[in-house]
Structures are given as C-alpha cells and as structure tokens.
C-alpha cells in the first residue's frame, strides 16, 4: 500500500503533548476555539481585550533548544516581513512558562482556496500570481520560507493568499540557519530535492514548493509517492516528475511548462526568481492588463489635446519620454480619438524586413513581389497616399523599430500634420514636427485614483504619496503597482471603480521592506511590458548586465541605497574606485537601467530590478546593509531597516530612540509609536534588553504628547512586559495614573499622582507635574490654583532642562478656568512659541483659539485655528486637525453665519476616536442645520449629542441637548418640562442657564413665569454685549425670546424671532 505523503507529514507533527490552556494570556488575550495544532504548538482564536479585536494566538509547546530557535526565527521573520500577504505579527510574550505569538486572524482555506471540485488555471491564476508577488517580496527581504505548503498559505474569499508559519525560514537577516548536515527540516510532501538530502536551501526551494502546490491543485495529486518517509524522500531527490500535461491535459501549455521547470531536480534549472515565474505564468495576458484598461487616463487630457491641436494645425508630432511614461498608451488613445472623429488611422508595426512595418495596414506586398525596388517604392507610396486620403494619419509606435525602408517611404510620402511618431529625442525632427515630451506623473495626478476622505484622514493623498514613492510617477509602473495592490488586497475597488485603501494597509506598506528595495519594482527585467520597445530595451539592458558584473553590482547598490543613491555614496559603500562607479553609472544610464532623478539633481533612480543580488550569500547581503547603515546619519529614512536587515541589533535600540524623537518632534505620533514598538519586539526577541529602557522612555514621551487613552493603554501593556528596572517600575506606575486621568479624572486621581515619587530626571518629572496639573482641573478651583503654583515653582528651578513652555501651558489652562480669557490667550501663545515639539505646540495653539472664542475675539480665534489646522494636516495629526476644524466651524456659528451643515465632517468625526469631540461637532452642525430649516437632521444630531454627553457623564451638555432634541421633536408634557427647568435652575453659569431654560420653553406646552424670571435675572448679571452672542446652540437673547413666545408649531428657522426692545432685559 502506498503511503499518502500528507499522512506522513501529519504523522511527523502528531507527537503532541496536552498543554495547559490559560483562560487569558498575559492578562490581555482571552482564548477561544482551537484553530489548529502542529509540532510547535496550538493556535487559538483569541480576543484582544485591549485592541478590541479577534486575533490568532499561537501558544508554543515547551521544547528543546531547536524549538526555541524556531520561535526566534519565526518572530524575526515576521518582524522583518511587514508585508501585505504575510501574516502580521502583533505581539509576542510569555505566559505561565510558555511562549506565545499573537498574529492577525486570517480567515481562509488552504491553498488553492475553497473550490468545489478541481479548479482550472482560469480560476487559479489570480491567486497563484498573487502568491508569487508575496514570495518575491519575502525573498527580496533576504528571507527563504523553506516550509511552503497548502496549510501555510491561506486563501480568503477574494482569492488573496496570506503566508503563515516562518518557523523554518532562513536568511542572515533573521539569524543563522537551523539546518545541520544530513538533517531534514520541513514538511516531506513539499520538500525540494536539496532539502530531502539535508542540503542548504535557497529561494529556489520555495519555488519548488510552489511548483508542487500548483501541480497538486491542477492535477489533483502530488508527483511523488512512497511507502514510507524514506522512500518518499528518495523519490523526491532522484526521480524527475511526470510532466504536468500528461496527468492534466487541460492545463495551458505555457503554465504546464513553467510548473515542470519549477520541479527540476537541479535548482540551477529552475526559474531564477518568483518574479520570473510570475511573468512566465502571466503569458500574453498578464493580470495587470485588466487594471490597465480600468485605470483612468492619468494626468488628464492635456497632452492628448496638445497632439490633436498640432495635427489640426497641419504639424506632425514626435512624442518623446522615458520608459514607462505612457508614450504607447498616449498613441493608442490618440488613434482611438481620431478614429472616433472620422479620420483614417494607419498604425505601423515593428519590423526588420524591408516594408514589413506596412503589413499591418494592408500594404499589397504580394502584388509587388516581382517589381524592382524603385517600382515597389512607387507602388507602396501610391498605396499609402490612397490609404491616407484627405485627412488620414499614420501612427508609428517605436519609430526606431520600424524597418528602415518603411521609415524612408513614410517621411517622403506623408504630408505634414499626418504623422505621429513615438521616438527617442535623437530621432525627433523639430523642423518638421512638434515635439511633445511626456514627464512622470506628479503625486497630485495620482490622487484621483483613490476613494475616501481627503479631510482629516487624508487617505487618497497618503495612498497617492506611497504609490508615487514606489513608481516615481511612471504611468506604466503605476498601472503595474496598482494591479499588485489589488492582487495583494492592499486596495479594493469601490462601486465607482476608484481604489480604496485603509490606513492600516498603508501603515503596513510603510513599515514593510522599503519601496526602493529589490522585489518591489513595478518595472523589472522579468516583468511583462505593454510596449514592444520596452521589451527590447529591457532585453538589451539585461544582456548588458549579464555581460558586465560591475554593472550589475553597481545597479544593486543603487537599488539598495534608494533615495540616498548618489555617485560618491555608491562608491563608498561598494568599495569600487570612483572612476569605475562613474563609468558604470554612465553605462547604466545609456542602457536604460538607471536614470538621473530630475527632481533631485545628483540622485540616481533604478529602472530595472538587478539580477546580481540573487547569488549573493546571506553574509554578503548582511554586510551590504551594514555598510549602508554605517554611511547614513542616525534617524535617516531607511537606516532603521538596514540595521535590522544586517543583524546589528545592538544598534537598533539607539536608532529607534533617535527616530522616535525625530518623529515625535515632527508631530508624527502614530508612526513614532509604531517604530518604538517595532524596536521593542526586536530587542526582546534577540535579548538585547539594555536599550529597552530608553525605547520605553521615548514611547512614554509619545504617549504623553498624544494623551489618548488607547495609546496610554498600549504603552502600559508594553511596560508591564519589560524587564524590571527601578526607572521602568516608576514609569509603569506613572502611565497607570495617566490612564486613570484619561478615563475619569477627579480628585482621586490627583491624590494617586501626588503619591508617586518624583523622577530624578527633570525631562521625566515634567510629565508627572503636567499630569498633576491636568488632574487638578477636576478639583475645586482653589486646589487647581495651588497645584499650578507648585508646579510652576518647580519648573522655574529647572528651566534650563525643560524650558518655559510647560509652565505657560499650565497657567493658560488655569486662566481659562478663572475666565481670564485674554490672559489665557497670552499664556498659550507663549507656550506655543517656546515648545519645539509639534504636538504640544498644536495643543497650545488650539487652547489659545478656544480662549479667544470665549473672549469674543472670534476672527482672531478663527485665524489661529486655521493655522493649527494646516500644521496638523501636514503632520497627519488627526485629532488636532479635527479639533481645529471643529473650532473653525464653531467660530463661524458664533459669528452668526448660517452655513449649510458640514455633513462630511459629521460622517468622519467618529473615526477620529475622541467621543467628546464628536459630540461638539454634532452640536455645532445640528445648529447650522436648524437655522437652515433642516429640522429632521438637526433633531437627529441633537439626539446623538445628548446620548454621547450622557455616556461621557457631562451633565450640562447632556441636559441642553436633551431639551433641544425635545424642542425639535415631540416636545415635553408640562411635568417633564418643569422637571428639566428645575435641573437647569441649579446651573451657576448664566449663559447655560438661559440657553437651557429657553430650549425647555420651546419644548413645553406652556411657559412657567418662574422660568422667565430666573432667566431674566441671570441676564442682568451678563454684559449687555453678550446677549446676542450665540452659545453652543442659541444666544441668551434667543433663549429669552423663547421664554416669552413659548413652543413654536414649526421649530425651524422661523423659531428665531427678532426680539422687540420691550422683551429685552434691562441693562444691569
């Protein structure tokens, strides 16, 4: 009986020991159902109680040193491979003596996915190509998986694959290989022959496994069988596979050929890369071609219109531009537009034989076969003239590839204004034709591709920025990269055909292998191009690279350096003589492999993916990354990645601290926290804990600048997992107190903070003092005044270390509470001017704007809020931008502008994640809606705001919005109205009292004269110039009017009467 290779694989992993299952791991992850078991542990569906999402938690079985090494490798690989299509590592730690890994929960079926019956290539193609895209990026990062099999490739309902289980992965960037001579690692059914012999495996072993999976998916069986494990491995290592078409005749020939080559016994006979396999499988109709057709014409119609205008004016056109700039696409669109306008369009072909380029337009080549050359030329000239008629046009894509005889005939025969050529700059004829040069697309040109809000979240702009960074704006590269994003699930199309990219997907792209590294090119020597000349140029370049190893090596270094690629630095890192580097760069430019970046003089941009890196050893790759990191200054873009990829973990902590500080200084807090947390995962994995403390101090600075509860809770979790030191113990207690202040505040939290010991470093103690002041805002005013005085006295003694900004900020908040608004404005302005960090500066600016609103300096407030909004948008600080946007709307409302409600802001605001701010927006936009007569919308927003205010425990906003919603809705009965009026009577703020009683009157069947008396008395205590000033909902004058007029039948715009002088309260 022949053994099932799958059964053999399962048997190897079946020696399972029952492990104790904790109800909750690390106090954070509540375990649920078992998703799978294997040799290294058990995978559970778990609930992340902090992140509030489902995750996959892998609880690892205690084992020998090799098991621990496997865990380290898996963590290292997942940490490095922050790539779409690779399962994301979210956390790792230890619980009750067992290690665990937390990963994103991937819903899907093992490769090839959930199919009924045997899938054909048509169903399998998109998933297979997407898998190869992912694998190319994994290999580009220097990682070989070495255990690819269907269960390690989950395919979701959209056909998108995700790679799992990197426990056997190899690569210098993640540590030395676990393989020892003669030891077989991996799942036998999917091992490459070299793995069966226990030999070292490179990326071609992964490609062999892909071949096996494709063979099995298309034929229904694996190519090798054996009675036992030993026999299976012998067959795998010695017997060629049966050609796929013999067992599955329906498979397309080109696909079967690729699969057969993937399964070659000799690794050297297999394709060289995943990109090469993908290109070969795509054949003549690559998966990106449908996307090429679906994408709108990028950059607008200006160039197309210019071509048409020149032709209409009787001038021919020469189109020039770099590879991938869309020359051929422009020519196709121009031809289609001319044909639709009724003009005859003749398209020349590429050819080598005389007049071969005329075959595509029906030239009578057979009829002239017996003529001499002059007669043949005359006959073809006559044919061409007749075919063109009075207004025909000849289009020649790749003019230099048109045969010489056709070129001469066309130039001699075609009249001016009837020829459009795509050619090189050297082939243009400015005296005869208008030269139209195509340039790369700008980032702004790419924004219309994307759906989603540009306000606050900035998703279209940020997606366009990332797309431009990966393509340089070359249209062909853009098309291919968009197709890759769609295949990998980074983007999806909305109903209008635009691309939708979520913030999380963008963050993963930016933390992944940098865009400029090998494997991320949209144009490469292996890619399928849409233009025949592109193929020709790529082939010429590839041949030149193969014939000159120095060229290929310099191209590798230019590629690795990315945005830092300049000739002197290339020479420094690759240790070649400068003259040789200069010569190689000139040659690379000549063959189209590199170009000078026109936007940045002196910078080099690779246009072709290098082949030279493939045979580099792991040690050489690591050395290359080390050399680049050594030449980049701390905090420079890409240096962190190069240090990680080189294995220089002892330097990762220091680099992370510098990078986090740079990002925090610029106000990019989300990215700063992500970098710091990434560094912690690395440092803990490689047990370099000396720098852990400094990274956590840097992250505490980020969290204090951000101050959102979710960020503080994430920091508290990281501190709880850290190796214990006195400073970290103190930080942990401080962050726990910060969480309590963010949750509730109150005098209890003030006492908690004051019980904390002082930090020895002033740069840390200022955080404790700031938290003290913040907690004191919930205490009686006298207590806050005392706390601020003490904090400012401390700050005065440490001004050299902390500056003056904190004290100004504390005083500004206090002056606001004391209703000394202009003094608050001055203090906050001083704080903003003195703080070099963007986030505190933004906070101070917005606090100043709020104080200006209360001081009735609305126009000044609006100007400050607009300045803050622009700065927040630049650094992508969503909360501050949203707060500034609301302040601008509030200023407009208080200036008595009756704008339409900002429905886009209403729809977006909850995504900011600050419930209090959402409530303020709903109140303001509800006010605008009411005054525009849109009572149903105003009523809905008032109810939303009331519910949110109750949830937040905000008494007066909740009561005001409840009364407002009642006034806009069914109203109160008299008892309900009386009860609400009694509550408002307890308010000591005259404006809120009048506003609340006015809204109650608008909702009540009848107005109690006592309510009117209370409001009139309160109005006497207000300055007369404040009576007409709108508050959050209505002005005091409007409140008094409602108390005199009572409930209106239609509480819309007509409910705002002009007060008669007799109804106004007497001046105090």
**Structure confidence by residue, pLDDT tens digits, 444-469:** 989 999 998 889 989 999 999 989 88
Q: Are residues 139 and 111 in the same domain?
A: yes
Q: What is the DSSP letter of 759?
A: P
Could you tell me if 165 and 152 are in contact, meaning their C-beta atoms sit under 8 angstroms apart? yes
Q: What is the pLDDT of residue 68?
A: 54
Asked whether residue 280 is assigned to any structural domain, the reply reads no
Q: Are residues 173 and 230 in the same domain?
A: yes
Asked whether residue 798 is assigned to any structural domain, the reply reads no
| Mean per-residue pLDDT of the chain | 83
Sign for the CA dihedral angle at 682, 688, 693, 697 comes to: negative
CA distance 319 to 335: 13
Residue in this structure with the two tokens 């409530």, named with its chain if needed: 919
Q: Which of 91, 133, 147, 480 is catalytic?
A: 147
Q: What is the pLDDT of residue 830?
A: 96
Asked whether residue 847 is assigned to any structural domain, the reply reads no
Could you tell me if 89 and 190 are in contact, meaning their C-beta atoms sit under 8 angstroms apart? no
Compare 80 and 1006 and report the one with higher pLDDT.
Answer: 1006
Q: Are residues 370 and 457 in the same domain?
A: no
Q: For the segment 272-324, what is each residue's pLDDT rounded down to a tens digit?
A: 888 889 888 886 444 444 444 455 556 667 888 999 999 999 999 999 987 77
Q: What is the pLDDT of residue 745?
A: 67
* 81-85, 450-454, 743-747 — most confident range: 450-454
What is the percent of the chain with per-residue pLDDT over 90, rounded to a whole number?
41
Q: Are residues 926 and 1040 in the same domain?
A: yes
Q: How many domains does the chain have?
A: 5
How many C-beta atoms lie closer than 10 Å to residue 474's C-beta?
Answer: 26
Does an H or E element contain 31, and which?
strand 29-38
Q: What is the pLDDT of residue 77?
A: 56
Q: For the segment 797-846, what is each residue's pLDDT rounded down to a tens digit?
A: 999 889 999 999 999 999 999 999 999 999 999 999 999 999 999 999 99
CATH code of 80's domain = 1.10.510.10
Q: Are residues 428 and 467 in the same domain?
A: no
Q: Are residues 59 and 163 in the same domain?
A: yes
In the residue annotation, 1032 being an active-site residue is answered as no
Q: Are residues 406 and 459 in the same domain?
A: no
Task: With cut-offs at 50, 70 and 90, classify the pLDDT of residue 671.
Answer: confident
Q: Are residues 568 and 461 in the same domain?
A: no
Q: Are residues 155 and 11 in the same domain?
A: yes
- Residue 96 corresponds to which tokens in the numbers above? 């009750």
Which residue range forms the structural domain that includes residue 951?
896-1063
Q: Is the pLDDT of residue 11 over 50?
A: no
CA distance 181 to 179: 7
Asked whether residue 146 is assigned to any structural domain, the reply reads yes
Sign for the CA dihedral angle at 1004, 1010, 1013, 1019 comes to: negative
Task: With cut-offs at 50, 70 and 90, classify the pLDDT of residue 140.
Answer: confident
Strands 41-48 and 24-25, by their bridges, are unpaired
Q: What is the pLDDT of residue 138?
A: 80
Work out the burial of residue 228: count CB atoms within 10 Å of its CB; fewer than 13 is exposed, 13-18 middle, 19 or more buried.
exposed
Q: Are residues 407 and 547 in the same domain?
A: no
Q: Is 1013 left (phi over 0), alpha (psi -120 to 50) or beta?
A: alpha
pTM of the model: 0.73
Q: What is the pLDDT of residue 50?
A: 79
The 3-class secondary structure across 189-256, one letter per residue, is HHCCHHHHCCCCCCHHHHHHHHHHHHHHHHHCCCCCCECCHHHHHHHHHHCCCCCHHHHCCCCCHHHH
CATH code of 363's domain = 3.40.50
Asked whether residue 135 is assigned to any structural domain, the reply reads yes
Strands 419-422 and 393-396, by their bridges, are parallel
Q: What is the pLDDT of residue 613?
A: 52
Q: Are residues 407 and 494 in the same domain?
A: no
Q: Is the pLDDT of residue 688 over 80?
A: no
Q: What is the pLDDT of residue 903?
A: 95
Task: With cut-offs at 50, 70 and 90, classify the pLDDT of residue 383.
Answer: very high
Paired strand residues for 493:
499
Q: Are residues 406 and 475 in the same domain?
A: no
Mean per-residue pLDDT, 195-209? 81
Compare 547 and 317 and report the one with higher pLDDT.
Answer: 317
Asked whether residue 987 is assigned to any structural domain, the reply reads yes
> Which of 402, 422, 437 represents a domain boundary (last residue)?
437
Asked whether residue 752 is assigned to any structural domain, the reply reads no
Q: Phi and psi of 203, rounded to 5°?
A: -60, -20
Could you tell me if 595 and 589 are in contact, meaning their C-beta atoms sit under 8 angstroms apart? yes
Could you tell me if 364 and 354 are in contact, meaning their C-beta atoms sit under 8 angstroms apart? no
Asked whether residue 602 is assigned to any structural domain, the reply reads yes
């Amino acid at each position: 009986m022949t053994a099932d290779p799958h059964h053999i694989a399962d048997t190897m992993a079946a020696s399972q020991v029952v492990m104790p299952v904790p109800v909750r791991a690390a106090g954070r992850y509540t375990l649920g159902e078992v998703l799978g078991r294997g040799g290294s542990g058990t995978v559970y569906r778990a609930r992340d109680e902090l992140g509030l999402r489902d995750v996959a938690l892998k609880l690892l079985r205690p084992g020998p040193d090799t098991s621990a090494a496997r865990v380290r490798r898996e963590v290292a690989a997942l940490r490095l491979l922050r790539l779409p299509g690779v399962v994301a590592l979210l956390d790792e730690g230890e619980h009750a003596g067992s290690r665990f890994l937390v990963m994103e929960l991937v819903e899907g079926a093992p490769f090839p996915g959930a199919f009924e019956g045997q899938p054909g290539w048509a169903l399998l193609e998109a998933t297979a190509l997407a898998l190869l895209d992912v694998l190319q990026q994994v290999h580009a990062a220097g990682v070989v998986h070495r255990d690819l099999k269907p269960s390690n490739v989950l395919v979701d309902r959209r056909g998108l694959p995700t790679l799992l289980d990197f426990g056997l992965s190899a690569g210098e960037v993640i540590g030395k290989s676990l393989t020892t001579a003669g030891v077989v690692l991996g799942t036998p059914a999917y091992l490459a022959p070299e793995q069966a012999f226990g030999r070292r495996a490179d990326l071609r072993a992964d490609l062999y496994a892909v071949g096996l999976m494709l063979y099995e998916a298309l034929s229904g069986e694996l190519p090798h069988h054996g009675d036992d494990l030993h026999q299976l491995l012998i067959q795998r290592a010695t017997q060629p596979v049966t050609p796929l078409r013999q067992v599955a005749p329906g498979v397309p020939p080109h696909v079967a050929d690729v699969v057969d080559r993937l399964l070659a016994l000799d690794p050297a006979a297999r394709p060289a890369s995943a990109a090469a396999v993908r290109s070969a499988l795509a054949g003549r109709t690559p998966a990106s071609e449908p996307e090429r057709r679906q994408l709108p014409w990028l950059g607008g119609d200006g160039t197309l219109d210019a071509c048409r205008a020149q032709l209409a004016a009787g001038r021919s056109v020469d189109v020039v531009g770099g590879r991938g700039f869309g020359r051929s696409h422009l020519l196709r669109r121009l031809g289609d537009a001319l044909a639709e306008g009724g003009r005859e369009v003749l398209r020349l072909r590429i050819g080598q034989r005389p007049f071969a380029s005329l075959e595509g337009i029906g030239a009578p080549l057979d009829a002239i076969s017996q003529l001499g050359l002059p007669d043949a030329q005359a006959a073809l000239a006559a044919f061409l003239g007749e075919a063109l008629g009075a207004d025909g046009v000849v289009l020649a894509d790749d003019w230099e590839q048109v045969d010489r005889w056709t070129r001469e005939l066309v130039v001699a025969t075609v009249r001016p204004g009837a020829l459009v050529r795509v050619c090189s700059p050297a082939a243009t004829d400015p005296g005869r034709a208008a030269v139209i040069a195509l340039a790369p697309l700008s980032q702004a040109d790419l924004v219309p591709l994307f759906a989603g809000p540009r306000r606050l979240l900035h998703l279209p702009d940020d997606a366009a920025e990332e797309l431009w960074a990966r393509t340089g704006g070359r249209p062909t590269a853009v098309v291919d990269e968009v197709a890759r994003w769609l295949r990998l699930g980074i983007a999806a199309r909305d109903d209008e055909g635009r691309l939708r990219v979520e913030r999380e997907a963008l963050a993963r792209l930016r933390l992944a292998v940098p865009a400029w590294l090998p494997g991320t090119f949209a144009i490469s020597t292996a890619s399928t191009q849409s233009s025949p000349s592109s193929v020709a140029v790529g082939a010429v370049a590839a041949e030149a690279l193969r014939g000159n190893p120095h060229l290929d090596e310099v191209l590798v270094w230019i590629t690795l350096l990315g945005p830092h690629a300049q000739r002197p630095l290339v020479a420094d890192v690759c240790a070649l003589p400068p003259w040789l580097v200069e010569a190689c760069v000139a040659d690379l430019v000549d063959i189209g492999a590199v170009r000078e970046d026109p936007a940045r003089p002196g910078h080099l941009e690779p246009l072709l993916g290098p082949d030279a890196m493939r045979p580099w050893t792991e040690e050489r790759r690591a050395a290359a990354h080390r050399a680049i990191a050594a030449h980049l200054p701390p905090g420079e873009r890409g240096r962190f990645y190069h240090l990680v990829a080189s294995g220089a973990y002892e330097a990762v902590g220091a680099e992370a601290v510098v990078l986090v500080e740079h990002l925090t200084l610029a106000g990019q807090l989300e990215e700063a926290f992500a970098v710091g947390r990434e560094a912690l995962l690395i440092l803990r994995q490689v047990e370099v804990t000396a720098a852990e403390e400094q990274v956590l101090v840097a992250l505490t600075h980020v969290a204090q600048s951000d101050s959102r509860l979710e960020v503080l809770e994430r920091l508290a979790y990281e501190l709880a997992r850290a190796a214990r030191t006195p400073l970290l113990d103190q930080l942990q207690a401080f962050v726990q107190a910060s969480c309590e202040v963010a949750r509730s505040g109150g005098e209890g939290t003030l006492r908690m903070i004051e019980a904390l010991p002082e930090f020895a470093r002033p740069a840390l103690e200022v955080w404790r003092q700031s938290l003290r002041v913040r907690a004191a805002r919930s205490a009686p005013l006298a207590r806050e005044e005392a706390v601020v005085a003490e904090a400012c006295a401390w700050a005065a003694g440490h001004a050299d270390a902390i500056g003056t900004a904190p004290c100004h900020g504390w005083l500004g908040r206090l002056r606001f509470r004391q209703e000394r608004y202009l003094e608050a404005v001055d203090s906050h302005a001083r704080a903003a001017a003195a703080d070099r960090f963007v986030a505190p500066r933004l906070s101070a600016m917005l606090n100043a704007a709020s104080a200006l609103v209360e001081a009735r300096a609305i126009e000044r407030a609006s100007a400050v809020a607009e300045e803050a909004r622009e700065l927040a948008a630049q650094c992508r600080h969503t909360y501050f931008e949203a707060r500034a946007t609301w302040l601008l709307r509030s200023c407009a409302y208080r200036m008595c502008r009756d704008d339409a409600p900002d429905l886009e802001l209403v729809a977006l605001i909850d995504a900011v994640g600050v419930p209090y701010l959402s409530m303020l927006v709903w109140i303001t936009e509800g006010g605008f809606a009411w005054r525009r007569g849109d009572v149903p919308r105003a009523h809905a927003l008032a109810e939303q705001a009331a519910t949110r205010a109750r949830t937040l425990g905000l008494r007066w906003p909740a009561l005001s919005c409840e009364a407002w919603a009642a006034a806009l809705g069914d109203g109160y009965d008299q008892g309900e109205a009386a009860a609400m009026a009694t509550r408002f009577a307890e308010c000591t703020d005259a404006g809120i009292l009048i506003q609340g009683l006015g809204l109650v009157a608008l909702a009540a069947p009848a107005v109690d004269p006592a309510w009117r008396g209370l409001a009139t008395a309160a109005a006497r205590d207000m300055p007369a110039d404040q009576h007409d000033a709108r508050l959050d909902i209505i002005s005091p004058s409007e409140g008094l009017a409602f108390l005199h007029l009572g409930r209106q039948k239609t509480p819309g715009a007509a409910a705002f009467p002009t007060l008669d002088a007799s109804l106004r309260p007497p001046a105090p």
